[in-house]
Amino acid sequence: MSIAGGIVIYVIVWWVVLFTVLPIGVRIPPETGEEMVPGQADGAPSRPRLLFKFLLTTAITTTLFLALWASDHFAIINWRELFDPKS
């Protein structure tokens, strides 16, 4: 795996994991007993905790990427053979 390919794979996996992590722990104002601000969307979270979610996303993505890199580097799984259209 080249450096550029690794960066591209990491960024794509990071975004997929982010959209998976975003709904974790979301509470809307009626659930928390807070008053809604005029013009506020009904589904807007009270505390989005984005920094925590970005860090969690980075940790999960790094773990997944390292597993993918190790399987490619140590030839645990031959990805080229697995996705070869000739077979």
pTM over 0.75: yes
The residue assigned the tokens 């070869």 is: 84
Domain regions of the chain by residue span: 3-33+42-82
The residue among 13, 17, 18, 21 whose CA lies nearest residue 68 is 13
Give 56-83 pLDDT, tens digit per residue.
999 999 999 999 989 888 888 777 777 7
Give 8-48 pLDDT, tens digit per residue.
999 999 999 999 999 999 998 888 888 888 998 888 888 89
Q: Per residue in 27-55, is it b (16+ CB within 10 Å) or e — as a string?
A: eebeeeeeeeeeeeeeeebeeeeeeebee
Model pLDDT, residue 87: 58
84 has a pLDDT exceeding 90: no
Model pLDDT, residue 78: 78
